[in-house]
Amino acid sequence: MEYNQLEHSSISLYTHEAGQCIGEVCTIHHRTAHNMRKFPQFYRFDRGIMERTCSHGVGHPDPDDIRIVEGKDEGTHGCDGCCLEFEMREKGSEEFSDGN
């Protein structure tokens, strides 16, 4: 086990060692360039998943979390649209409207 600080957060957790996830996507050691990387990480002990907390205080499941990737957690959350909004902006969706 090793101690790691969560991204954009003051929270640190004991996690698996970096060598255990080489070649795999990992919310701690090998993050992808997903649309919520600027949001602080928060670990949900009740569900066993990593979340990203948007500026509105809503927790969105971290797309790199193995339980989300493997479908072991459905990713249900009280969404305020931030995760969808960032995804649509990255893709350049014509359907996206920011209210202007």
Phi and psi dihedrals of 45, rounded to 5? -65, -30
C-alpha 100, offset from chain centre: 28
pTM of the model: 0.79
pLDDT by residue for the chain (100 residues), tens only, comes to 999 999 999 999 999 999 999 999 999 999 999 889 999 999 999 999 999 999 999 999 999 999 988 899 988 998 888 887 655 555 554 443 334 3
Which helix (H) or strand (E) segment holds residue 14: the answer is: strand 12-15
The pLDDT of residue 98 is: 38
- Beta bridge partners, 26, equal 30
pLDDT at position 99 is 40
